[in-house]
Structure formats: C-alpha cells, structure tokens
Structure 1
Amino acid sequence: MNTPSASFAQLVPGMAGMMLVGGSVTVSRVLVDAPLFTTQAVRYVAATAILVLFARLAGARLVWPRGREWLWLTGLALTGLVLFNVAVVRGVAHAEPAVIAVAVACAPLVLGVVGPLLERRRPSRQVLLAAPVVMVGAMLVEGTGHTDAVGVAWAALVLGCEAGFTLLAVPVLRRHSPWGVSVHATWLGGLMLAVLGATAEGPQAVRELSGPHWAATGYQALLVTAVAFVLWYSTVRAVGSGHAGLLTGIAPLAAAAVGAVTGSGVPRPSVWLGIAVVLVGLTAGLRPRGVPAPEIAGVGHPADPGPESTAVRSG
C-alpha cells in the first residue's frame, strides 16, 4: 500500500492539539501537591461529559465498542492515560524530569515504525529519516538529566505508554471516529483512575482539592483532554500515525514558549538550537510529496462493516 502524504490542512488539528498539551505545563504545576489518581479521575470523568455534549452538538454518532474493540480501547486507556501517569510519577522519583521528557521525545520514531505496520503499509522513509531529527531537537529543548537503572525502566514505560495512546487507537478510529475513541478512552481511564484513587488515596481525597486545583483540573479536562484528544485523533486518522507522530515534537516547543512568557526567562541557546532542529525535522518529514493522502485509519480491519450498533448512553 502506498504511503500517504500529509497536507497542511490535515496536520493543523494535530499541531493545535500538541500546542495545547505543551502549553499546559504551567497549569499542571498547580496540581503537583494534589492527590494524583483522584485528580486525574475527576479530569477524565469531566472530559467524558464534555466530549459527549460536544459530540452531540457536532452531530457525531457515538457507538458502543464490540468484540476486540474493547481490548484496543481498554488498552489505550490503561496505557495512555493510567499507566502513563503512574510511570511519570514513579519515574521522577528515580530520574530527573528531563529524562522522562527525553523518553517522550522518542515517540516519533516508535510511531513511525510501528504505526504503519498496524495500518498495513510500509513505513515512510521520509518519516523515518525525519523522526530522529525531531527527537534530537526535542531533547535539546528539554535538556538531559541523571537517572538510575530503575529510572530508565520507568522512562521506557513512559515511552511505551505515550506510543500506545496513538497506536492502540489506529484499529478503531474508522468505526468510532476521533469523537468515539476520545469518549471511550476518557470514561474507561476515568473509571480505572477512580478505583486507584479510592484504593490508594481514599474516597476523602477529593476533599483535598483546593480552588486552584479545581480550576487547573477543569482546564485540563476541557482543553488538554476533550479538545486536544479529538484534534489529535483527527490528524492520526487523516494522515496516519507515522506522520502524526512527528507533531509530538511541537509539545516541547509550546512548553518552552509558555515558560518564557510566564516568567521562566529567555530560553538558553541550546533551547533555541533545539527549536530550530525540531522545525527542520518537521519540515523534512511533513513536506508534501505530490501524493494524495487518503484516510487510512482502520486499515487493519478491512472487513469491518460500516453500520454502527447501539448508541452510547450519555451521563
């Protein structure tokens, strides 16, 4: 199967989604002293309600998963939402935050190799050449740090979870659409995190959330989850996970920009160099090649019929 190219219009949603994720770093700092699992459970439950409402307003039909779709969507929620949060928290106990950020920066290469295989096509040589460039640029922006062997293991898990958030959506994107995948990921992830929160932090943990905590969680639920998820999966469905994976390099650029604006000071020379390297990698990996970009999501299920079954119940 031919490797699809990516038009700029198809990339815009994913770019916007990564900007929202990267730009949320200042808001995320407000939640450092909040109970992790409880806060994230509230975030994803709220995001589910927002997504269902927005989907109805947009005329998008939501359907219940069936058969193996439950495995893909549960795996997506477990890795991309639940284990990712656990791995980050446990990882920074053994490694500097920059080490975890570097692990996330490796996602473009994983997505560039594994994503096309799930989509039953050959990896794009253009993407495979550009992915290491984006990775190096992101590492320069984030910096490096010290770690031990346990920290390396947690960082590897973070990388796997980051990739799983995109790769496990590929087989179900065609039938469920970006709206459906986002809704099912958030309610499943919210349920898992609620159980973890009640077990590890206690049901009373929600009372520990202050006004700033609620405001930050609401921001994350609306923009960093509900909006960003739909934007991201829209680009993944349109151009494929390999091309979309390069856009993860935008997140550290947005974080650096927001940090400079909010008082972290002028970025270091290495950060400016990293920004330039990321932009070179994005330009090289995403430039059009004159080949139309068909919608490729769900190629792994060619026999999947179009008609949907029971609609998802809201609330």
Structure 2
Amino acid sequence: MDIPSASLARLVPGMVGMALVGGSVSVSRTLVDAPLFGTQAVRYAAATVILLVLARLAGARLVWPRGREWLWLAGIAVTGLVLFNVAVVRGVGHAEPAVIAVAVACVPVVLAVIGPVLERRRPSRRVLWAAPVVMAGAVLVEGTGRTDAVGVAWAALALGCEAAFTLLAVPVLQRHSPWGVSVHAMWQAAVLLALLGTVTEGPSAVRELSASQWAAVGYLALMVTAVAFVLWYSTVRAVGAGRAGLLTGIAPLAAAVVGAVSGSGAPGPSVWLGITVLILGLVAGLRPRGVPGADAATPTRAECPRQQVRHK
C-alpha cells in the first residue's frame, strides 16, 4: 500500500465520526425541551449496551480498568460527557449558540499543542500551522453571536471539556483500545447523569419524552455516541491527538451541509469563505509527506528507541 493511501485510511474513521457529530445538529434540536440529565443518561446507557454488543460481534477484547486508568476514564466521563453537556445547555442561556460553537472550534489548536506532549512527541509544525487555519474556517462557518461574561465562562468550559474528551484518552488508548475507552467512559457518564437527573429532575422525568424525542435519543445513542466514539478514538490512536484534532473541523462542515439540505437555506458568503478556509487548513495539515511515519509528529532523539518498541 502506498503511503498516501495508508495515511488516508487511518484518517477516515475520524472523518466519518466528526461528520456524524456535525450532521446530528438537527436531531439534537429535538431534545432542547427534554430533561437534560435524564435524557443524556438514557442516551449513554443505551450506547453502552449497543457498544458491548458491537464489541462482542467484532471480537474486541474489553478489560477492566486498573490503578490510574480509573482517573483517566472517569475524567473523560466527567469532563468530556457530563460537564460538556452542562456547559452547552447553561451557556446558551447567556450566549448565542454560535458563541459556544466558536469556543469549541478552538479545539484543534489545543490538541495540536497538548496532544503531542501527552504522547511524548514533538508537536508537528505542519499541524501547528494548520490548526489556526482550521479554527478560523470553523469560526466563519459557525458565525459569531452576543454573549456576556458568564456566557464566555461557559464557552471556555465547553472548550476545555471538548479537548479533555480526546486528551484524557491518550494515556489509556493503547491498553483499552477505542472500544474499551468508549465503553468505560459511557457507562460512568450514564451513572453520573442518572444520579444528577434523579436529584434535580426527578426519577420519572424521562417518561414525558415524546415519540420523536425517543427516536432522537436512539439515533444519538447509536450513531453519534456508540459508533462515532469508536471511530474517533481509532483515529486518535492511529495518527495522534494533534493531527486528529484537525478533523474536528469536519463537524461544522457537516452541520452546514445538513442545514442547507434540510431547508434552512443556502450558505451565505461568509460561510462559503469559511468552508474554503477550513478545507485548505485540512488539506495542508493532513496531507502526507510521502515518507513512512510522516502522519505523526517526529519523536525526539532520546525517545526514538521507546517509540520503536511501542509501535512493534
């Protein structure tokens, strides 16, 4: 297999995962009036069951966490799943949705800088240059909006939680695989959200969901949680958090396409400009160099022996 084809194959799962996330915007809107914690608890519990079945069918081996792994996996559940949902819902009470989206659009820059540090690699200069371009394109696609100081704080928290969803998985992806990381993060999030829902919304709140809302929960559990999580973590493990982070720019692209197809109207000039900038950033940052190992950042001289052993 030639190098460009091999590199693209590693990126495809993450691309599909981000497309599923971005394309689910219209589905998520169905749940705006639903009880937050109870609904999300059902979503993650259902996703856990679905993923356990899929893992068994795929022959994936799941292992129980040990030692510090509990902290990393619980961190994903608390920040990337529970707190992120809270930040988004509470944030839109003080800021327009575009403000939260713009904050999340900064994720590629955060992952480009911090991801390689956790992986004990040098940050890739190509990715460091491309990440702000992808971010700028995403901001143009999402647009901007009004906010207050509290809204800014919620937006910053959403950014941190979105980055934590990827970064906290890096230390445990090798032993637990994308399947294991997804399963353990999901069931812990389901438990936490169920407890929060019981205390703040009441144990019977989810019974008030309409048929369309139940359908939305089912779709999000299967496609945007169970499937997309495994696809995303597969690419993070294959190419590194920094390079994979550029793929988050696909989510606003998918959202724009779905919005246009669903009847919200053709994108305006600023959105088209953002799409162009975003695609240029993705191409520049993800284009393989044509040499083995070019899709990951170059390790330092002192780390070369350890990296060779790790990838055998």
What TM-score do you get using the length of structure 1 for normalisation? Answer: 0.91
| Cα deviation code 1:17-76 (max 9, x no counterpart) | 000000001111111111011000000000000000000000001010000000000001
Aligned to 1:42: 42
Post-superposition shift, 1:295? Answer: 10
Equivalent position amino acid for 1:275 in 2: I
Identify the residue that residue 81 of structure 1 maps to in structure 2.
81
Could you say what the CA RMSD is over the residues aligned between the two structures, in angstroms?
2.0
Match of 2:159 in 1: 159
Q: TM-score, structure 2 length as denominator?
A: 0.92
Secondary structure of the 2:65 match is coil
Corresponding position: 1:273 with 2:277: no
**Hey, which bits of structure 1, 4+ residues long, moved more than 4 A?**
none
Q: Distance in 2 between matches of 1:162 and 1:293?
A: 27
Determine the structure 1 residue equivalent to 2:97: 97
Return closer, same or farther for 1:48/1:293 CA change in 2, 3 Å cut-off: farther
The 8 Å contact of residues 7 and 293 in structure 1, kept in 2 or not, is answered as: no
Mapped partners of 1:208, 1:247: distance in 2 = 37
Q: Are the counterparts in 2 of residues 237 and 295 from structure 1 also a CA contact under 8 Å?
A: no
Tell me the number of residue pairs that the alignment of Structure 1 and Structure 2 aligns.
298
Q: Distance in 1 between matches of 2:81 and 2:290?
A: 36
Where does residue 313 of structure 1 map in the other structure?
Answer: none
Per-residue deviation at 1:86?
0.4
2:136 counterpart residue number: 136
| Aligned equivalent of 1:59 | 59
Corresponding position of 1:118: 118
Residue 3 (structure 2) aligns with? none
Q: Secondary structure at the match of 2:289?
A: coil
Shift of 1:206: 1.4
Residue 68 of structure 1 is matched in structure 2 by 68
Q: How does 1:120-269 map to 2 (within 5 A)?
A: 120-269=120-269
2:28 and 2:223 mapped to 1: Cα distance? 12
Aligned to 2:25: 25
Q: Distance in 1 between matches of 2:84 and 2:57?
A: 31
Matched letter for residue 181 of structure 2:
V
Q: Distance in 2 between matches of 1:255 and 1:76?
A: 24
Conserved? CA contact 1:239–1:294, under 8 Å: no
Q: Specify the alignment match of 1:14 in structure 2.
A: 14
Contact 2:133–2:277, Cα closer than 8 Å, also in 1: yes
Partner SS state of residue 158, structure 1: helix
Q: Output the CA distance in 1 between the equivalents of 2:38 and 2:295.
A: 37
CA shift at 1:292, angstroms? Answer: 2.4
CA distance in 2, matches of 1:159, 1:293: 30
> In the alignment, residue 86 of structure 2 is paired with which amino acid?
V
How much has 1:209 moved relative to structure 2? 1.0
SS at match of 2:146: coil
Distance 2:16 2:73 in 1: 24
Deviation at 1:12, TM superposition (A): 0.3
- Does the aligned pair in 1 maintain the 2:288–2:294 contact within 8 Å? no
Determine the C-alpha separation between the residues in 1 that align with 2:208 and 2:151: 29
Matched residue type, 1:212: S
Matching residue's letter, 1:89: V
Structure 2 CA distance for aligned equivalents of residues 251 and 186 of structure 1? 21
Q: Is the 8 A contact 1:47 1:221 kept in 2?
A: yes
Distance, in Å, in 1 between the alignment partners of 2:176 and 2:31 is: 32
Cα distance in 2 between the residues matched to 1:58 and 1:40: 26
Structure 1 residue runs of 5 or longer lacking an equivalent are 1-5, 307-315
**How far does the alpha carbon of each residue in 1:274-300 deviate from its partner, in whole angstroms, 9 at most, with x for none?**
00000000000011012323998xx99
Paired amino acid for 1:32: V
Percent identical:
78
Contact 1:47 1:222 in 2 (8 A): yes
Structure 1 CA distance for aligned equivalents of residues 295 and 246 of structure 2:
18
Q: Distance in 2 between matches of 1:242 and 1:79?
A: 19
